[in-house]
Amino acid sequence: MSTDLEALSRELDLAFAQLTPVERLKTLVERVPGRIVFTTSLGLEDQMLTHLIFAEKLPIEVKTLDTGRLFPETYTVWRETEEKYGRRIKAVYPKGEALEELVNDQGIDGFYYAPEFRKACCGVRKVEPLARALSGAEAWITGLRRDQSANREGMHFVGFDAGRGLLKANPLFDWTREEIRLFAEEEKVPVNALHGQGFLSIGCAPCTRAVRPGEPERAGRWWWEEETLRECGLHVEPDGRVIRAKLVPGTNHGDAAFEGPAES
Ligand code: SF4
């Protein structure tokens, strides 16, 4: 099956260039032999895809990873979306025991102290739940755009995720943020209120800030890791308090949950 999906991903990658986003989604439904899962972060791009899937009544599973640390505004747009379309966005949660162990080990906001802690938190709250969300699926849809950041320029409309053994499709790959914003406005798609307050890419509340004019779109994610210098590992004060680690400027720590570790 994997080999077939690999060939299909190459075929669809070529075909997608000539299609609109909704045609791309319909093509996936027609051509992919098994389950198709769309993981939404409830951000602008993902809301457009959710709109297309729900409005066209496409048999695509829409799931979100509730890390437990999302903004109140994100829960609001989640509820509004379900109310508007009359369909459920399925939640996937971290495993309780692993979460307890993580917080008891590194503290409630341990991700600020060291990159390893941040990765451990993303691992428990996002990466492991994503694996369960995609378990048994043949195709995974994301809202990634080509122009979001430099490390996405080598990506495709459709690729084959060899690690997970599934086809990965990005139906909005060639759309700009402005085109998507206009689409959402015209179609009255529910959008996260934080987008109107300078938040472009919205993730967990403690790890996301508004972006200043001129900053890259994803500069508001894990900004403390971008702006400081890396030191080797974790440092502890003589009294046992943890000192925040410093990181190499420009190090790119992507969104492990909605993109997969390969792009993180
Ligand atoms: S984004 Fe922050 S709070 Fe969310 S899972 Fe990653 S480290 Fe944890």
Report how far ligand 1's centroid is from the alpha carbon of 45 (Å).
Answer: 20
Domain that holds residue 44: 2-195
In a domain, 231, yes or no: no
8 is catalytic: no
Using DSSP, state whether 33 is helix, strand or coil. coil
At residue 250's C-alpha, the angle toward residues 246 and 256, to 5°, is 85
Q: Mutate which of 65, 69, 218 to test ligand 1's pocket (most atoms within 8 Å of Cβ)?
A: 69
* pLDDT one digit per residue (tens) for the chain, 264 residues: 455 999 999 999 999 999 999 999 999 999 999 999 999 999 999 999 999 999 999 999 999 999 999 999 999 999 999 999 999 999 999 999 999 999 999 999 999 999 999 999 999 999 999 999 999 999 999 999 988 755 555 678 999 999 999 999 999 999 999 999 999 999 999 999 999 998 888 999 999 988 888 887 777 777 777 554 323 222 233 344 433 433 333 333 333 334 433 333
In a domain, 228, yes or no: no
- Separation CA 25–CA 90 (nearest Å): 19
In a domain, 92, yes or no: yes
Which atom from ligand 1 is nearest to the alpha carbon of 117? 7
Domain count, the chain: 1
- Separation CA 22–CA 19 (nearest Å): 8
Binding-site members for [4Fe-4S] cluster are 121-122, 204, 207
In a domain, 226, yes or no: no
- pLDDT at position 228, please? 44
In a domain, 232, yes or no: no
CATH of the domain at 66: 3.40.50.620
In a domain, 23, yes or no: yes
Report how far ligand 1's centroid is from the alpha carbon of 206 (Å).
Answer: 7
Whole-prediction pTM:
0.84
Report how far ligand 1's centroid is from the alpha carbon of 57 (Å).
Answer: 32
In a domain, 50, yes or no: yes
In a domain, 25, yes or no: yes
Smallest CA separation from ligand 1 atom 1, residue: 204
